[in-house]
């Protein structure tokens, strides 16, 4: 497992723990889902969670 996958799994675990706590306190599955989705989107947008890079053959076509 590479460093990027380890960091992504740590951030994903953190997101699930915080979402679980929020969902438990409010006793709502909806709040759990909302917090998990919002935190994941913020982490991806902010660069904390980095998706895997595109394959080489796809990169070439995107640089027009």
Q: What pLDDT shows up at residue 55?
A: 65
pLDDT for 10-62, tens place per residue?
999 999 999 999 999 999 999 999 999 999 999 999 988 888 776 665 555 55
DSSP-assigned states of every residue in 3-35: HHHHHHHHHHHHHHHHHHHHHHHHT-HHHHHHH
pTM of this structure: 0.76
* Domain ranges for the chain: 3-62
Q: What does DSSP assign to residue 55? A: P
Q: What pLDDT shows up at residue 61?
A: 55
SS3 63: coil
Q: What pLDDT shows up at residue 27?
A: 96
């Amino acid at each position: 497992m590479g460093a990027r996958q380890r960091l992504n799994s740590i951030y994903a675990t953190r997101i699930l723990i915080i979402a679980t706590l929020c969902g438990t306190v409010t006793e709502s599955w909806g709040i759990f889902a909302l917090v998990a989705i919002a935190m994941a989107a913020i982490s991806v947008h902010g660069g904390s969670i980095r998706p895997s890079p595109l394959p080489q053959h796809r990169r070439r076509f995107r640089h027009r």
